[in-house]
Amino acid sequence: MKVKKLILVTAKHMPQHKHFVRISKDLASLLNVELEIREEDYAFLADYGEKDELGMPWTPQLLAMLENGNIKPILTKLPINEKTLQFDIEKAKEEALTNLRNLGVEV
C-alpha cells in the first residue's frame, strides 16, 4: 500500500507547530507525496484524528491518506528527549515512519 498524501492539521499558535511543519515537509519529500496543511480543522480531526478522554481532538496532528482512501493519524504528539527535555524531531520522524509501516505502507 502507498500514501496518497499527508495532511497536517495544525494551529500556528501552538508551540509544536513549527516542528510539525518541518517533520511533515521532510516526510512528504521522503515519500514523494503532496502535503496538505489545514489550519485548526477540528471537524476533520474529530472524524480522523486522535482525541482525548473527553472525545476532543487537538492540534497539531499529522495524518496520512492512503491509496485506498483511508485516513489514519501517524504522528499526534512529539516525543521528548529525556536528556535535553527538548522535542526529539528525528525520533518523531521515525515514529511516523513506523506507524506507516504498521499500516502496511511501503516506506
C-alpha 107/C-alpha 99 separation (Å) is 10
What average pLDDT does this structure show over 77-96? 95
Domain boundaries, the chain: 3-102
pLDDT grade for 106, boundaries at 50, 70 and 90: confident
- pLDDT of 107 > 90? The answer is no
Share of the chain above pLDDT 70, in %: 100
pLDDT tens digits for range 31-52? 999 999 999 999 999 999 999 9
pTM: 0.95
CATH of 3-102, one of 1.10.287, 2.130.10, 3.40.30, 3.30.70: 3.40.30
Q: Stretch 46-60: mean pLDDT, rounded?
A: 96
Q: How far is CA 105 from CA 4, 11, 86, in A?
A: 11, 27, 29
Which residue's entry shows cell 487537538? 58
Phi, psi dihedral angles at 52 (to 5 degrees): -80, -175
